[in-house]
Amino acid sequence: CKEELSVLDFGTQLTNNTFSKTLVLENKGKRPQALRWINETITEINLERQAESKAKSGPGKKEAVLAEPGFSVFPDEVTLRPRTATMFTFKGSAVTPEQLKEVFVLESKVSIISLSLVLLCFPLASFILSPVFFSFLFLLFSSLSSYFSLSLSLSFSHHSFL
């Protein structure tokens, strides 16, 4: 890979907006590698929530609500043959304004026995509230005969803190 992968800085992003970055990884070796991305941050949070849920006993016990990742990578698993390359796409989004940072681990398996940590990757982004609001959340369109006309005014407003 030609880019620095330890920190993927997406900068400042608007809430409810999906953004992405694509990275290319090459296998310059002579053996195929099975690569797998793991979101360590979300894995740890979900394990803690499940442990807390199991610790609570009695009536009214609720199942743990699993955390949703702010970042994802596609494909999360791939086998890379010798002298080939593959593209990984990191996507991110958030509903609320926040600073988001997650830890991704790239594991490589070259043979049946060897499993090694190849890379720690830290995607991060700052989310700010989108200042544009539409008058409707969704619009429905349907085919009407030519004898009828349908009009609907759509407006949007810009809310700024300035």
pLDDT tens for each residue of 19-46 = 899 988 898 888 898 999 999 999 998 8
Q: How far is CA 12 from CA 17, 65, 122, 129, in A?
A: 11, 28, 15, 10
Residue 60: its pLDDT value, please? 64
> From CA 123, how far away is CA 7, in angstroms rounded?
6
Q: 97 preceded by cis ω (within 30°)?
A: no
Is it the case that residue 161 has pLDDT exceeding 60?
Answer: no
* Span 109-120, pLDDT tens digits: 887 766 676 777
Percent of the chain whose predicted confidence (pLDDT) is above 90 = 17
CB 51 within 8 A of CB 121: no
> From CA 53, how far away is CA 31, in angstroms rounded?
43
How does DSSP classify residue 15? Answer: T
* Span 45-81, pLDDT tens digits: 889 888 887 777 666 667 778 888 889 999 999 999 9
How many CB atoms are located within 10 Å of the residue 50 CB?
Answer: 13
> From CA 56, how far away is CA 61, in angstroms rounded?
7
